[in-house]
A and B are shown apart, each in its own frame.
Chain A
């Protein structure tokens, strides 16, 4: 049975984060008066080596068998304190944390009430701690394969690093080709092109046999636990096989023409098409949504590469971890915002990049509305820094840099074009500041605004009225072409992704990572890793870097070959179970089944499948089903302590 509880209470100052609003000494003294509490201390930083050393010594000195730490949120340092008490020989689940920082000192201004609340929280923690039992983690073998979702630069880099490390990688990309948004990016710093970067990465992927690429494929189902995830991939039909030699005959015959999303709508493409020069796999693809299956392409193809009857197939993969690198969407200004959509000389930065790119619709010539503009203006922060009603309230980080790169490229190719950049703050951070200097030398004109400019279409062209804050004057600039430097927004289809992978999104709509600063590439749920612009706006270099960082984190999870799971699974008390089957239907993971013990049908929990949600134990009429770590008596003790009814 549970040995006689000897509880040690440790209160943290957290510098003056807690000490400023909670009288830690008073709480420590109060803790001594609580039942089962043998000793209580308070120290500046409990999470530091000194703090942890203090806990270890106290456990040995008073042979404590329960520890309560009143400090920050368990999501911050529960693992730290667990390993601390484990190294003192105590089972690491005999720990209860009282959150007196985020839930108390940071949230309340009145010091006296906050101290009172801290005492209650410590009392609740001690009440539960006294009833805690030692638990053992479950170890499971791990499959050394990784699913990378998204074939952009981040996903590709993650796949390459994982494969070179020794894992088997499934690279799943929704579009018919790898490369993502970076392939459509034109010029980058030191004269590199997005397509070249993508090409280098694709070459590395092609000659690495550990990477299995599935394009035109999407994740439909995802379940299991870290190290043993089950992923169901649906590979949509491409209708064209390897025999295709990219001759393009079929494309000529195809009657259907739609706007080409690989040129952001600047040119049109056929139903059967090849995305762009550096696309991989180098095979044509038929766009299922618009193809009317007229069969013209089949007739035109001498190599018999096209088969319109191809069906989609689904794959069931058993993977150890998943790297989500699904990237972002460019912000699409609503019609009328800065007169977008009312004049075809008003384009977005992404479209401009396509125009300046050799593989673009105009082979790199800056032809907007049929002619090379004499005057072109960029408006920054479109869709970011809530400049317009439908904008997001964050800075999209990369639009300044890419705007200046393209402005410099325009001035290099067409020196006598007048280029204006309307900005709030030029965010060319780090070494990109040289871009700001080069833009100056290339005679690019900068106009600072605070109130967003207004764009109106007049007979003689586009006129931008803006109040230039540094000269305190309202000026109007007639231009021939206007580029809206749009920012990055979360993908439209992100909700399906969240539904399947259980990730969650933060205030800015991008997927939330565990900690913004210290683990930017891990999702709160173990085994799920985030790379690239899926967690927030990034430029190509940062996305690539996040890709390899995610690979590294996957390696830390899977390198040992086995993984330990949290022991908060459900467990049945056979004597009390009446076999009423209520729990069996409830379990979303189908971890509960009935088995016969001395001729009575009794519930049985398969620990490998149980994720520890506790729904079954709440519904069990007889209380036979209990969740380790959150047993009814433990929670009841907390409830009683919370209302002050129980221990006074």
Chain B
């Protein structure tokens, strides 16, 4: 049941070397995708603190994507993405306890050349968020 004019808002943390470059490439090759995403650039996916994701949900984001370089060896800083993988696998279980559906958070590996993957991830997530509807208030009133 997706409400008609409900436009989900997605906050994206993109690593500067791979995912941000992939989003740029999607732009330069004119691959169109819905404008519901807001991208925040960080130097490495390892820099994304789970706190930021919670802050995004608290402030009304309907979905959050953390995008980094493709393991095992793409990371510009050797293993920043592996650290992110470790943190956010644990974080997903935490989300469920907080009552936030696990589809609302995605950890994606997008290398500098995978503009198509970026567009696919955005479209898939939007579909799920439209199906889930807006974020229930009590989950984030912590």
A residues lining the B interface (CB < 8 Å):
73-75, 99, 101-104, 106-110, 113-114, 116-117, 120-121, 124, 495, 498-499, 502, 504-507, 512, 524-525, 568, 586, 588-589, 611-615, 617-619, 627, 630, 632, 635-636, 638-640, 642-646
Contact = CB atoms under 8 A, between A and B. Distances in A.
A499 B87 CA distance: 23
Contacts of A632: 49, 51-52
Contact of A614 (B23, B28, B33, B44): B44
Contact of A615 (B23, B28, B30, B44): B44
B96 interface: no
Nearest to A118: B35
Contacts of A627: 43, 47
Given A116-B35, A614-B42, A627-B43, A619 B83 contact: yes
B112 A504 contact: yes
5 contacts: A106-B27, A107-B33, A504-B18, A619-B87, A642-B38
B113 A506 contact: yes
B103 interface: no
A618 B112 contact: no
A613 B35 contact: no
B61 A499 contact: no
Interface of B: 9, 11, 17-18, 20-21, 23-24, 26-28, 30-35, 38-44, 46-49, 51-52, 55-56, 58-61, 69, 73-74, 76-80, 83, 87, 111-113
A632 B79 CA distance: 21
Contacts of A106: 27-28, 30
A512 B112 contact: yes
A642 B28 contact: no
Given A613-B76, A640-B55, A643-B61, 6 more contacts: A73-B27, A108-B35, A499-B73, A614-B80, A639-B52, A643-B56
Given A108-B32, A588-B78, A618 B49 contact: yes
B59 A639 contact: yes
Given A639-B52, A643-B60, A645-B60, A588 B79 contact: yes
A114 B79 CA distance: 35
Given A504-B111, A618-B48, A102 B28 contact: yes
Given A588-B78, A645-B60, A618 B46 contact: yes
Contacts of B21: 75, 524
A103 B24 contact: yes
A614 B15 CA distance: 11
Nearest to B61: A643
B83 to A, nearest CB: 5
Contact of B59 (A73, A75, A117, A646): A646
A643 B73 contact: no
Contact of B83 (A586, A639, A643): A586
A642 B27 contact: no
B35 A639 contact: no
A505 B113 contact: yes
B23 A636 contact: no
A121 B38 contact: yes
Contact of A636 (B17, B55, B73, B113): B55
Q: Which of A75, A639, A646 has the most CB of B within 10 A?
A: A639
B139 to A, nearest CB: 15
Contacts of B77: 588-589, 611, 613, 615
A615 B80 contact: yes
B107 to A, nearest CB: 14
B59 A618 contact: no
Most buried by A among B35, B44, B48: B35
A83 to B, nearest CB: 20
Nearest to A115: B35
A117 B38 contact: yes
Contacts of B76: 502, 525, 613
B111 to A, nearest CB: 7
Nearest to B30: A106
Contact of A642 (B31, B33, B58, B61): B61
A483 to B, nearest CB: 32
A507 B114 CA distance: 8
B113 A644 contact: no
A491 to B, nearest CB: 16
B59 A104 contact: no
Contacts of B73: 495, 498-499
A439 B58 CA distance: 72
B67 to A, nearest CB: 13
A110 to B, nearest CB: 7
A341 B29 CA distance: 39
A161 to B, nearest CB: 28
Given A499-B73, A614-B44, A644-B60, A504 B55 contact: no
Nearest to A107: B27
Nearest to B72: A499
B43 A643 contact: no
Of all A-B residue pairs in the complex, the 5 with the closest CB atoms, nearest first, are: A102-B27, A645-B59, A614-B47, A615-B46, A613-B77
B56 A639 contact: yes
Nearest to B9: A643
Contact of B47 (A120, A506, A615): A615
Contacts of B34: 108
A613 B80 contact: yes
Contacts of B111: 504
Contacts of A586: 83
A595 to B, nearest CB: 24
A495 to B, nearest CB: 7
Contacts of B78: 502, 588-589
B58 to A, nearest CB: 8
B42 A109 contact: no
A502 B80 CA distance: 13
Given A107-B32, A525-B76, A640-B55, A613 B112 contact: no
Contacts of B52: 632, 635-636, 639
B89 to A, nearest CB: 15
Contacts of B43: 568, 612-614, 627, 630
Contacts of B58: 645
A106 B119 CA distance: 13
Contacts of B42: 614, 630, 635
Nearest to A121: B38
Contacts of A525: 17, 76
